[in-house]
Structures are given as C-alpha cells and as structure tokens.
Amino acid sequence: MTKFSGLDYYEIDGLLTEEEVLVRNTVREFTEEQILPIIEKNYRIGTFPMDLIPKMADLGMFGSTLPAKYGCAEMNNVAYGLVMQELERGDSGIRSFASVQSALVMYPIYTFGSEKQKDYWLPKLASGESVGCFGLTEPDYGSNPGGMITTAQDKGDHYLLNGAKMWITNGTIADVAVVWAKLNGIVHGFLVEKGTQGFSAPEMIGKHSLRASVTSELIFQDVQIPKENIFPKTDGLKSPLMCLNQARYGIAWGAIGSAMATYNTALEYSKTRIQFGKPIASFQMTQEKLVFMVAEITKAQLLCLQLGRLKDKLTLRFPQVSLAKRNNVQMALEIARMAREILGANGILDEYPVMRHMANLESVKTYEGTHEMHTLIVGQDITGIQAFV
C-alpha cells in the first residue's frame, strides 16, 4: 500500500498554519512508523502497547495545549485536534490513551487543582513518567452521572472514599486517578494514588472493541485520601462535565482519522480488486460509497476546524462540541461499515484495519456521552426544552 497522505478534497490544509501542518505531519509519520506496524498484534492479544508511552511523551503529545512551564507544548486547540486525528488513524485505543491523559487528567489538574498538585503531577504526566485515569462513570450511572453513589466523607484529617467506578480507560496502568465522588451531596474531584490502601483497579476483560486499550474498574473500600488531594476549585457536577467536553472535542477530531483510514483502505482496495474483468472501483455502486465517504470526511474536517478555531477564541459552546462528536463518530462508523462492504470477505481480516476501526467506533459512539445524549444536548440547545430528566 502507498504511503498515507491524508484526504484533503477541499484544500483545507490551506486554512491551517505552518505549525499546525507540521504537527499533523509529525504525528502522521509517527502513526505510520510506530503504531501501524504493531497495532494489529496488540489488538489481537488485547494489550495496550506500553512502549509507545515514552515515545508519545517525547514528542509532546500529552497535555499539549498546557503551558510550557509544565513541560507541555503549549499548542493551540486545532493542533491538538490534528494530533488526535492522526493517532486515531492508527487506533482509537491509542487516541483514547492520549485523550484521557491530556483531557481527563492533566486538564482537570490544571483547571481545578492547587498549585502544589499542578507542580507535582503535570510534569510527570507530560513526560509519561506517570499515567493517569479519570473515574466518573459508575456501573449504574452512565448517562446520568449526577446520580453517582461513590461518596467521600470528611474525617477531619482525611477523606474516606467508598464506591466503584467502571469503564475507566487506563485504570489498571494508572499511577493516579482523578476520581469524582459526592461529599455532603456535592460532586468533588479527588486525586487517588495507585497503591493507596483499599483502592484497586482490576482490568475488565472480554471486550470486542478497543482491544488495544486498558479498560478497568476502580474499587474504593474505605480509602483514606489526604486532605491535600481534593481539587480546591471545582464547582459540582459541572467540573467533570467540563473535562468530558475537552475529551469529546478530541474525539470529534479522532473520528476523522479513523474515517480516513477506512476510506483510504477501501479506495486502494477498490482500484486493485478485479471482478468481472475490471476493478470494482469502476462500478457505480462502489463509486457511490467512495463519494459518500469523501463528502462526509470533508464536512467533518470543516466542522472540526471551525470548532477548533472557536475553542481557541474561547467562544466555543458545549452543544457545538456535542454536535461534532455526534456527527463525526456516526459518519466514521458508517464509513467503516461501507469500507467493509467494499472489501467483501477481506474486510473481516486483520490484514486490513477496517474491522478493527469499526469495532472500536462502536465504543467511541457511546463513550464520553452516548450518541443519543449528544442528540438531546443539541436538541435542548436549539429548542430550549430538555428532553431528559
């Protein structure tokens, strides 16, 4: 297969700055050389490629929008989005790792943490020396996180944490967990370090999706948290939702990478697969599928670029992120399914990345806010009427 050179049907590269293009190209090359050669094997055996962590850290992929004084690249949000896009062209699991570390761990520490928490954790997380995870979802509270039953009690010189979290990316390999729990009925954030007594993070097994990513439970049984480990600047449930908004922003970009991967595979395949004496790309039904893919990817690219520009201008509204996450993941999933149709039986083999992306996207569609919840968030935004709760 020829070297991947992206899809840019509308000369959207011309709307990017020199630095943004350079960032995109660097991560594209990284994905080509470091992720694609190993990912199918990791996916098959169900492991996260741990040796990618220092390599991604060296390039500055963790917390890349945060200030340089913490060892971060201090890039803008469009460049960050392009990093997510290129990583997810490799695999949603790799993008998820970087998303969680950046948007769900470093972002809340930076935004809600004390100076001491920031100075201690951000450089370690940026350099990949420490891995983080984010615990909000519970077995019985997914779309409705406000109902969470994990609690923290003030015991004078410490907090006592009890409860369980589920579907936690990086949980088992994390050195620090950002955990959300109710203290006197109000949601607060706590930093829970690996090895704290009463805290365990068993890995969830049996996934048919995101197999190259660690997904865990977090279990807290009378875990004593030092007082200094509470986030001082949170504001109830709004704070973890702000984190999710950061992560969703990255997912909207990531889905474009996945779609480009499956589109590109389908395009190349259709030009070389001969049936009835000619390439299947010469059949109208195949062309219709390929054109659908190009159109959807192009729209998603423009959607994300403007979303990123708004985020950089600080005028972004969260329903706009919901719209992009909802649209882009759905289109990537549809494109993966169409690519599988174009590849026929070959589409199910791991010689091609299509089935892996398709299975991954089934998770991406429902994590960080299900497709339905994002629909209702936009629905509420445009009608003024909340259709849930």
Partner 1 sequence: MKCIVCVNHVPDTEAKIKVGADGKYIDKAGINHILNPYDEFATEAILQLKEKNGGETLAITLGGDSHKETLRKALAMGVDKAILLKDDSVRDSLSVAKALAEELKKHTPDFILFGKQSIDYYNEQIPGMVAEILGLPSVTAVVKLTVEDKKVICHREIEGGQEIVETTYPVVISAHKGLNEPRYPSLKGIMASKTKPITEIQPIAVAPVVETITMFKAQSKQAGKIVGTDAAAVPELVRLLHEEAKVI
Pairing of strands 176-183, 132-135: parallel
The distance of closest approach from Cβ of residue 19 to partner 1 in the complex, given in angstroms and rounded to an integer, is 5
Q: Active-site residue 19, yes or no?
A: no
User: Considering only 22-30, 140-148, 150-158, 319-327, which stretch makes contact with partner 1 by CB under 8 A?
Assistant: 22-30
Lookup: tokens for 288: 């219709």
Catalytic residue among 86, 138, 334, 368: 368
The distance of closest approach from Cβ of residue 54 to partner 1 in the complex, given in angstroms and rounded to an integer, is 13
CB nearer to partner 1: give 100 or 230.
Answer: 100
| Stretch 58-87: interaction string toward partner 1, x if CB under 8 A | xxxx--x---x---xxxx---x---x----
Binder to partner 1 among 5, 184, 315, 383 (CB under 8 A)?
5
User: Considering only 13-21, 112-120, 196-204, 274-282, which stretch makes contact with partner 1 by CB under 8 A?
Assistant: 13-21
| Stretch 272-311: interaction string toward partner 1, x if CB under 8 A | ----------------------------------------
Binder to partner 1 among 9, 29, 69, 228 (CB under 8 A)?
29
The distance of closest approach from Cβ of residue 257 to partner 1 in the complex, given in angstroms and rounded to an integer, is 16
* Burial readout 300-316 (b: 16 or more C-beta within 10 A, e: otherwise): bbebbbebbeebeeeeb
Binder to partner 1 among 22, 149, 186, 349 (CB under 8 A)?
22
CB nearer to partner 1: give 62 or 269.
Answer: 62
CB nearer to partner 1: give 58 or 235.
Answer: 58
* Burial readout 346-380 (b: 16 or more C-beta within 10 A, e: otherwise): ebeeeebbbbbbbbbbbbbbbbbbebebbbbbbbe
**Which residue is listed with tokens 């293009």?**
21
251 CA to centre of own chain: 5
CB nearer to partner 1: give 19 or 341.
Answer: 19
Reduced 3-state DSSP string for the chain: CCCCCCCCCCCHHHHCCHHHHHHHHHHHHHHHHHHHHHHHHHHHHCCCCCCHHHHHHHHCCCCCCCCHHHCCCCCCHHHHHHHHHHHHHHCHHHHHHHHHHHHHHHHHHHHHCCHHHHHHHHHHHHCCCCCEEEECCECCECCCHHHCCCEEEECCCEEEEEEEEEEEECHHHCCEEEEEEEECCEEEEEEEECCCCCEECCECCCCCCCCCCCEEEEEEEEEEEEHHHECCCCECEHHHHHHHHHHHHHHHHHHHHHHHHHHHHHHHHHHHCEECCEEHHHCHHHHHHHHHHHHHHHHHHHHHHHHHHHHHHCCCCHHHHHHHHHHHHHHHHHHHHHHHHHHHHHHHCCCCCHHHHHHHHHHHHHCCCCHHHHHHHHHHHHHCCCCCC
The distance of closest approach from Cβ of residue 59 to partner 1 in the complex, given in angstroms and rounded to an integer, is 5
The distance of closest approach from Cβ of residue 106 to partner 1 in the complex, given in angstroms and rounded to an integer, is 14
Q: With binding defined as CB under 8 A, does residue 102 bind partner 1? A: no
CB nearer to partner 1: give 60 or 189.
Answer: 60
115-174: which residues touch partner 1 (CB under 8 A)?
none
CB nearer to partner 1: give 2 or 197.
Answer: 2
CB nearer to partner 1: give 26 or 162.
Answer: 26
CB nearer to partner 1: give 83 or 355.
Answer: 83
Binder to partner 1 among 7, 30, 180, 262 (CB under 8 A)?
30
Binder to partner 1 among 1, 3, 195, 383 (CB under 8 A)?
3
The distance of closest approach from Cβ of residue 5 to partner 1 in the complex, given in angstroms and rounded to an integer, is 5
# residues near partner 1 by CB under 8 A = 23
The distance of closest approach from Cβ of residue 264 to partner 1 in the complex, given in angstroms and rounded to an integer, is 12
Residue type for 181, please?
A
Annotated catalytic residues are 368
Residues that bind partner 1 (CB under 8 A): 2-3, 5, 18-19, 21-23, 26, 29-30, 58-61, 64, 68, 72-75, 79, 83
